[in-house]
Amino acid sequence: MLLGVLLGVAAGAFWGLLYIAPLMVPDYNPVLVALSRYIAFGIVSLPFMYFLRKDLKRFTKADIIESFKLPLFGNVLFYITMAICIRMAGAPLAGMFMAIIPVMVAIASNFRYQKEGRALSWGVITPPLVVIFFGMVIANWSEFQYMTAGAESPLDFWIGVAFGIVAAILWTWFSIMNGEWLLAHPSHNSAAWTALQGVTVLPVVTVAWAVVAWPMGYLDTTEGLFGPEPINFLWVALMLGFVCSWVAMLCWNGMSQRLPSALGGQLIVFESISSVIYAMMFRGEMPTVTLVIGYTILLIGVMGSLYVFRQYTERMAKQSRKAELAAARQKK
């Protein structure tokens, strides 16, 4: 469990860089920056397809389809809808939706576990989730006071709200389904699964980038084919593709093979924590009092959730050993 938690924290730390990447290329549209991330992710994944070819041969046609569907909806469309939410309703609202994703993942996963007879008691799982949610709200309280500041009109704000809801649902779905697939295939190499996810979406995001950049006119080509700062843009895209996609997804997939979705999904809070820390370092600002208090409460909630799931795992392991011993006695 400890290794799984550490991998989840590492993934969040790498994903936190996503939020300062647009600040490094301010002349480029955020949608283009997001799509360039997945193009770079696919290109970086190509060499790994060769080195991991023995592991990749074990994937079925159904696995390949799943490796395309999961990142398309849970990564590409998620970041596009979140970018639209930020553009139309402001970053604070997008931050609120990110705050509720860990809670949504835990609740949705536990409902799925109930069908399989392995759900945790709601009385046990609810308290740490409530603490996590309120920690995120308090941490972002000063931002929420200016919730509508990013919207140009009430209509834009509510359109942004709609896209934010879609984004939260997409990531919740991805976190659960990707985690359950990996738990159901423990013998598969998580690095091979990561590479496959990068390569399968590469053609789609490349075409989407080209359409958005040129026919739709989102790229300023007055100074060159790839915009005003092509070298800087390509370096940022490479960083996003390798660090924030390949390495981060490798960590997340490794975590997903070790932890139940209801717990693993909650570790996305470390993306939010990391993004705030990086943004403040980038701007040279000091954290606010509400931010420090909020994230302290949030971490307490995460620790409480880890304790609950650890107790549950140990209890299930004991019951399994007792069942095995009882079965062995009956055979004798």
- For the ranges 10-24, 62-76, 199-213, 276-290, the lowest mean pLDDT is seen at 276-290
pLDDT for the residue numbered 51: 93
**Rounded to whole angstroms, how far apart are CA atoms 149 and 159?**
14
Buried b (16+ CB within 10 A) or exposed e, 224-249: eebbebeeebeebbebbbbbbbbbbb
Per residue in 60-110, pLDDT (tens digit) is 999 999 999 999 998 888 877 887 777 777 666 676 677 678 888 888 888
Mean pLDDT over all residues of the chain?
Answer: 83
Least Cα distance to 140 among 98, 109, 175, 87 occurs for 98
Chain-centroid distance of CA 98 in Å reads: 9
Q: Which residue has the higher pLDDT, 250 or 283?
A: 250
Residue 151 is predicted with a pLDDT of 54
pLDDT in tens, 217-260: 778 777 777 888 888 989 999 998 999 899 999 999 999 888 88
Residue 152 has pLDDT above 70, yes or no: no
- Per the CB < 8 A criterion, the answer to whether 194 and 119 are in contact is no
